[in-house]
């Protein structure tokens, strides 16, 4: 296990001017728990990427339905107009539905809002993290099991865990909480059938105890890092901001260790 940790250990403090990683994929999930859409770019809004978790499925009692209860939601594939993610596109009253937003947990980020994501506007995962996990699994899993907003490459596995402040296309993103995983990653997004992996494998090296966070020990597994966007707090600074595939990520501040990162 010590050898495993050495693969993704990261130095602390401020970084050099060289990018820490590069954005390789961007995903949005217009309807919570339904299939995601891979896009080349996504404009920033006050609640995350435009259209991300703007709608959700509810039952006859008005309660939310997610893949935790109805795995076959993974088979529902939303579509958006081809220009809906252009940075200057302005919808009319007849072309979109406005929903109430909600505040993220103030214990982790004050004043930020999200739509129907589980708690935070952005989830970042590195290709290195997925590759390392897949080396430990009998059957490799695609990234869609983990439903990130931003997939990056070029950094060591689990580097994203320690990214406290980053700049992405001159936009400030703050890593505020390790992403604790529910049963959704165990659901095959092509068939809607749940299994036991990757949770069984993650329990071996991605728990609080394994990450030397014994004082916390919430009996959860972690994969990915939740982020908020500083510019989203102000309409004036948010206007025109967009994230694109190929954008470099510069890490300005890092958490000293997993024990210091919130979860």
Sign of CA dihedral 88, 93, 96, 97: positive
Give the pTM.
0.75
pLDDT at 98: 36
Give 215's contacts (C-beta < 8 A, 6+ positions apart).
259
Contact 180, 236 (CB under 8 A): no
pLDDT at 78: 85
- The domains of the chain, with CATH numbers, are 2-254 (2.40.33.20)
List per-residue pLDDT tens for the chain, 263 residues long.
554 545 544 444 555 689 999 999 999 999 999 999 999 999 999 999 999 999 999 988 999 999 999 898 888 888 887 788 898 887 766 665 434 867 899 999 999 988 778 889 999 999 999 999 999 999 999 999 999 999 999 999 999 999 999 999 999 999 999 999 999 999 999 999 999 999 999 999 999 999 988 776 677 999 999 999 999 998 888 889 999 999 999 999 999 999 898 88
pLDDT at 4: 52
């Amino acid at each position: 296990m010590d050898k495993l940790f050495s693969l993704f250990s990261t130095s602390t403090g401020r970084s050099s001017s060289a990018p820490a990683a590069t954005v390789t994929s961007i995903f949005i999930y217009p309807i919570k728990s339904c299939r995601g859409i891979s896009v080349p770019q996504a404009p920033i809004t006050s609640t995350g990427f435009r259209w991300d978790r703007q709608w959700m499925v509810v039952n006859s009692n008005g309660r939310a339905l997610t893949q935790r209860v109805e795995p076959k939601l993974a088979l529902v594939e939303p579509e958006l107009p081809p220009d809906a993610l252009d940075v200057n596109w302005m919808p009319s009253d007849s072309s979109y539905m406005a929903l109430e937003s909600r505040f993220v947990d103030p214990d982790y980020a004050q004043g930020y809002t999200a739509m129907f994501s589980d708690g935070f506007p952005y989830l970042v995962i590195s290709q290195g993290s997925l590759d390392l996990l897949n080396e430990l699994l009998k059957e490799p899993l695609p990234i869609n099991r983990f439903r990130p907003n931003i997939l990056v490459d070029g950094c060591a596995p689990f580097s994203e865990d320690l990214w406290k402040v980053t700049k992405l296309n001159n936009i400030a993103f703050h890593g505020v909480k390790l992403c604790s995983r529910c049963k959704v990653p165990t659901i095959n997004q092509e068939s809607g059938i749940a299994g036991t992996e990757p949770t069984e494998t993650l329990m071996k090296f991605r728990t609080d105890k394994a990450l030397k966070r014994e004082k916390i020990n919430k009996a959860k597994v972690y994969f990915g890092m939740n982020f908020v966007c500083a510019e989203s707090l102000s309409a004036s600074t948010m206007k025109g901001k967009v994230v694109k595939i190929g954008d470099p990520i510069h890490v300005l501040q890092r958490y000293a260790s997993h024990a210091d990162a919130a979860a």
